[in-house]
Amino acid sequence: MIKGVVLAAVIGTAVLVVAATGGIADLRSQLPDIRKPFNEVNDALKGTQERERQWAHVVKEADSICARYPQGRFVLKPALPPNRAQYVHTIRIELDREGAIQSELVVLQPPANYVRPYSLFLHNRQVALAALERLQSATKEKSKEDYVTAARVLTQRTRSIHTYAASVGMPACAL
């Protein structure tokens, strides 16, 4: 869109120059000046386009990493489950899965303008993992209060992670 506006301005300027001076020779002598704004816009857009390509690569790689790990069977129970041993085992499987994913996602390097939101995404995943560990511990110890607190944190972070992952195109990375 910006290129189109600049191109229209360049063409408009060229028409005005030809009309005002009446000669193509004058227009040719002024071409470098006419092209300069267009070239500057092109140069500025090249950096943005490169960062967008880098980000698209990071998103594709992250989604690929998450997709390699089969989706877990963990379902957050609203209260301490009666079959605690099976639930603790299911949480352990989920922790292993999510920990492996997290260790691979951390290695990806987003372009500078995406570092902050991607870092927040990784931080939310780390907090969710810690909440999952607390949930496992609370289940083992039969601590209803700790279980509810950990479940609340896990739910909040899971929403944030899911929203971010969906909005940037990493659906496999949603918890």
Instruction: Please report, in angstroms and rounded to a whole number, the separation of the first and last CA atoms in the chain.
Output: 37
* Domain spans of the chain, in order of start: 2-46, 52-173
Distance (Å, whole) CA 94 – CA 62: 18
When pLDDT is averaged across residues 42-53 and rounded to a whole number, the result is: 75
> Is the torsion defined by CA of 21, 27, 29, 32 positive or negative?
positive
Q: Would you state the pLDDT for residue 33?
A: 64
Given a cut of 70, whether residue 28 has pLDDT beyond it is no
Of all residues in the chain, the percent with pLDDT exceeding 90 is 59
Q: What is the CATH number of domain 52-173?
A: 1.20.120
Could you tell me the pLDDT band of residue 29, with boundaries at 50, 70 and 90?
low
Which pair of tokens denotes residue 99?
């920990």
Taking each helix axis as running N to C, give the angle between helix 84-105 and helix 24-68, from 0 to 180 degrees, rounded to the nearest 10: 150
Q: Would you state the pLDDT for residue 10?
A: 60
Given a cut of 70, whether residue 52 has pLDDT beyond it is yes
Q: Would you state the pLDDT for residue 110?
A: 95
Of all residues in the chain, the percent with pLDDT exceeding 70 is 73
When pLDDT is averaged across residues 74-82 and rounded to a whole number, the result is: 87
Nearest-CA neighbor of 105 among 91, 123, 88?
A: 123
Q: How many CB atoms lie within 10 A of CB 171?
A: 12
SS (HEC) of 12-79: HHHHHHHHHHCCHHHHHHHHHHHHHHHHHHHHHHHHHHHHHHHHHHHHHHHHHHHHHCCCCCCCCCCC
pLDDT in tens, 92-142: 999 999 999 999 999 999 999 999 999 999 999 999 999 999 999 999 999
Residue 107, CA distances (Å) to 61, 88, 103, 119 in order: 11, 29, 7, 11
User: CA gyration radius for the chain?
Assistant: 27
Given a cut of 80, whether residue 39 has pLDDT beyond it is no
173: buried, middle or exposed (CB in 10 Å: 19+, 13-18, 0-12)?
Answer: buried
Could you tell me the pLDDT band of residue 18, with boundaries at 50, 70 and 90?
low
Q: How many CB atoms lie within 10 A of CB 5?
A: 10
Which pair of tokens denotes residue 39?
């070239």
Could you tell me the pLDDT band of residue 71, with boundaries at 50, 70 and 90?
confident
